[in-house]
Amino acid sequence: MYISDLIEDFLEHLEIESGRSKKTIENYRLYLERFLEITQEILNKDDIKPGDINREVLRKYRLKLNRYGSENGGDDFKTITQAYHLIALRGFMKYLVKREIKSLDPSLIELPRVIRKQVSFLHFDEVEEMLNQIDTSNESGLRDRAIIELLYSGGLRVSELVNLNRDSINLERREFMVRGKGSKDRPIFISEACADRVRDYLDARTDSLPALFLNNSKNLQTADTSGNYRRMTARSIERIVEKYARLAGITKHVSPHTLRHSFATDLLMNGADLRAVQSMLGHADISTTQIYTHVTDAHLREIHEKFHSETH
């Protein structure tokens, strides 16, 4: 069999047997088709077989991947993007091993060291200043207030927020479930103030549409009859967050994910356990949550000043 056919088999395996999301499968297709394209160039032939892939081909592939952007008139791939390509390739090679198809040993595919960017977050008073900019005398203002409160209080991803329906959220218990990355469910807890703001917004609405947050633009034109035609998009939420950050005089870039970072940071600064924060964020790996531990630096300074003997 040829690599091109086996890639299709692998993607079907991800969908049916591994239950991976459509987005993940789309990304894997892109990465593996790019691998095939580069490998065809390296070997100077169209029909690549699993046995053609060896250490030297891998070395040349990584080199071309590193230079892919500049050689194709664009920007070179960042290290994290190259890592995603290699993760997809390693998964594909593991699949071939399971099918007893001889090819490159997956253990030979080492990932590049990725240096994580420092997490950007807002302090509580900055979030409050954003909320103070919102005119809640109309439905749109009530909606915007509820959106920012919910992002900050629940630590939601923007994709999780836009998928919420009215009946998704229990305002009395102030907890509900969301389906996050990898189709994993996790509980979301919100403050009483957040629940009140969501309730204020819903009370102001006169429609019966299912989506929790609606686009109020008068320019919406669509043939969609599913009831979702006014559901807000992730980009709409991003614009709202950016707008109030700007009005609050916050000069750094603020996105919905910044509010998620702020949620995690606030928990840790107030003494929450890292494992608990991991669960509330829905991180599969504790190492992902550890990017927030920079916030403990301030506590270490306080402890040092309080308990370390000072010389005179």
Residues annotated as catalytic are: 157, 181, 257, 260, 283, 292
Amino acid at residue number 126? E
Backbone angles phi, psi at 170, to 5 degrees: -100, 105
Residue 216 to residue 79: CA distance in whole angstroms? 40
Decide: helix, strand or coil at residue 171. coil
Decide: helix, strand or coil at residue 164. coil
Residue 273, strand partner residues: none
Residue 177 DSSP one-character state: E
Relative orientation angle of helices 192-204 and 139-154, to the nearest 10 degrees: 150
Who's near 114: CB < 8 A, 6+ residues apart?
79, 80, 83
Residue 115 has a CB neighbour count (10 Å cut-off) of 8
The DSSP element (H or E) to which 137 belongs, if any, is: none
Residue 49 to residue 97: CA distance in whole angstroms? 14
Measured CA angle at 22 (ends 19, 25), to 5 deg: 80
Residue 155 to residue 187: CA distance in whole angstroms? 11
- The Cβ-side half-sphere exposure at 302, using a 13 Å CA radius, reads 6
Residue 91 to residue 3: CA distance in whole angstroms? 14
Residue 187, strand partner residues: 177
- Residue carrying structure tokens 């086996």: 6
Residue 144 to residue 238: CA distance in whole angstroms? 11
